Amino acid sequence: MKNSTQAIMAIDEGTSGTRSALVGADGAVTALHYEPLTVNAPRHGVVEQDANHLLERTVSVCRKTIAEARENGVEIVALAVANQRSTGVLWDKQTGRAIVPAIVWQDTRYASLLAQMESRWDRELFEVAGRPIAGYALYYWAAQHIQNTPEVSAAWSRGTLAFGTVDTWLLWNLSRDKIVVTTPTNAAAAGSFDLRRNIYYDKWIEAQGFPSALLPELREESDDFGYTDESMLGICVPIKASCGDQHGGMIGLGCIGTGQAMCLHGTGSFVDLVTGESFPKNTGLNETTFSLIAWRRRQRSIFAVETFSATTGSALNWACNQMGWFESPQQISELAAHVDDAHGLMFMPTLTGLRLPQLCVDARATMAGLSMSHNRASLARALLEGVAHSVVSCTDASSAVADLAVSEIIVGGGLSSSTTLLQLQADLGGVTVRHRPGSARATLRGAAFLAGCDGTFWDGLEAARATLPEGTLYHPAISSDERLQRRGYWHAIAASEVERVASGFYAEPRHVA
C-alpha cells in the first residue's frame, strides 16, 4: 500500500447534485462534500441546467474537500472526474462562460423530429453505435443554436465556440491548459460513436447539421488530462481519469470481470453486463438494450451491455407518497420480510410504460391476483417482487444481447439496502447477488480507481478492486421449476397488458354530442 497520507480527489458530477471526496490507497472514501444542483423544465419536454452554476458548485465542493485534506495532512496526488452522461454544453472560450442553458440527458424537445429519421438510421446506429436515435439530441441541439442563436453564431464565427458534454466542460475549466476533450464512455452515451473503431460516427453527426470541427478530442478513461489550474482549485495535480458516472459506479463496485453484471438501484434500475474485449454479439436484438464502452485503457476497449427499468425506486416512492400505502420504502422492506411470499399477488412497476420483454410505451402498471386473504405485508412483498422481476428481465435481456451468461450480479444504490429484494433477485434470476457496503460512494471510488491504477496507488484495476470488502452474498434458494413458474406468471401479465394497449383499452373515450 502507498503512503496513507496520500489520496486521489474524485468528483461525481450528477444531475441533481455534485460531490467530491478523497479516495485513499486502501479504497476508503473520506472528506466527502455535496451540494445540490438545479434542473429546470421551463416547458414540456425541455430539461436544462445552468452549466455556469454547475461549475461553481463543483469548485465549491472541491475546495471543501481540499481544505479538509490540508487540515488532516493528506496530500492530494491526482484528480479524477465522473459525470452525468449525454448532457451538452456550449460555451465561449473567450469569456469562459456557458452561452445557453445545457441540454440535460432527460430532454425530449426534439424527440418527435428525430423520430422521423429512425427508419433511415436506427438499424445502422445499432450496428455502429450500439443504440438507436432514441431522442439523443445534443448534436442536433448544438447545431440549432449555431444556426439560430446570435451569441452562439458569433462565437462560432470568431472561432471561440466550444462544445462538449459535462466532462468536457469541467475538464476545460479545471485544467491548466484548457483542453477540450472527452472520453468513450461519454461520447458513446451521446449516441454518435463508432464503438468498434473508437472514433466519432461522423456520418450521423453531420446528418444532424453539427460541424465536426467542434468535436472534442478523444482520450481514454484512464489517461493524461494535464494538470489542474491552481487559480481555480488552489492545487496543481495531474488529472488522470474521466468517465461517465454509470461506468465509475461499475468499476467502484468491482464489476470489472467478463460475465459480471452491475445492478444499480435508483429512480430506475440499471443493469450493466461486462463483455470484456468482445463486442456484444447480438447488438440490436431488442430496442431497449444498448451496447457501450465500459471503459478504455491502454488502447484496449472493454465493452458492456446496458438495460434499465425506468420505474423501480420511483414505484416504491409512488406507493408511499401518492398512494399512502406505506410510510417509506424502508417500511415496505420491513413488512415484506415478515412473509415468505406474496401468495399470488403480482405488481408490475411499469408506471411510465413497459420496456421488457417488449417495448410498449403506453402500458400501465398492474396489480394482479388480489384476494381478501392479502394484507399490507403481502402487498409490500409484491412490490419488491415486482422490482426484482423487472431487474431480472433487464439481466436476461443484457445476457441475450451479449450472448454471455451472467456469473454474478453486484448491486448498489438505495434499494440495495433491502435484503428481501436482493434475495428475490437471486431467486428469480438464478444468479448469485453480491452486495458490498458503501455502494453510495461507488462512483467516486471507481473514478479514483481509474486514476490510480497506473501505479500511482494500484498496479491495475484488479489490484484496486482487491481493496473492496467481499460483501454479502445472496444465493438462489428456490428450485428451477418454481423460478420458471413465477417468471412465466410475470411474462403472462406483461403480455396481457400489451394486449390491453393494442385493443385500445386506454384510449380516450369519445364524447357524442
Q: What is the tens place of the pLDDT at every residue in 360-393? A: 778 888 899 989 989 999 999 999 999 999 999 9
CATH code that applies to domain 6-246: 3.30.420.40
Mean pLDDT of the chain: 93
Q: What are phi and psi of 163, to 5 degrees?
A: -140, 145
* CA neighbor of 51 nearest in space, from 88, 14, 80: 88
Over residues 196-243, the pLDDT tens digits come to: 999 999 999 999 999 999 999 999 999 999 999 999 999 999 999 999
For 233, the enclosing helix (H) or strand (E) is helix 230-233
Sign of CA dihedral 502, 506, 507, 512: positive
**Is-contact 242 164, C-beta < 8 A?**
no
Q: Which three cell numbers stand for residue 417?
A: 439496502
**Is-contact 223 240, C-beta < 8 A?**
yes
Q: Strand 260-265 to strand 199-200: parallel, antiparallel, or no bridges (unpaired)?
A: unpaired
- Give the alpha-carbon dihedral of 82, 242, 261, 19, to 10 degrees: -20
Over residues 284-322, the pLDDT tens digits come to: 998 889 999 999 999 999 999 999 888 888 889 999 998
Q: Residue 431's pLDDT is what?
A: 97
Amino acid at 248: G
Q: Residue 235, by phi and psi: left (phi above 0), alpha (psi -120 to 50) or beta? A: beta
Amino acid at 53: H
Q: Residue 512's pLDDT is what?
A: 43
Domain ranges of the chain: 6-246, 313-391+478-502
Over residues 80-136, the pLDDT tens digits come to: 999 999 999 999 999 999 999 999 988 888 988 998 999 999 999 999 999 998 767
Q: Residue 4's pLDDT is what?
A: 66
Sign of CA dihedral 35, 41, 45, 49: negative
Q: Residue 479's pLDDT is what?
A: 96
- Whole-angstrom CA distances from 135 to 38, 100, 139, 255, 437 are 22, 20, 11, 29, 35
Q: Residue 511's pLDDT is what?
A: 47
Class (C level, CATH) for 313-391+478-502: alpha beta
- Whole-angstrom CA distances from 211 to 86, 111, 132, 164, 203 are 18, 21, 21, 13, 11
Q: Residue 361's pLDDT is what?
A: 78
pTM over 0.95: no
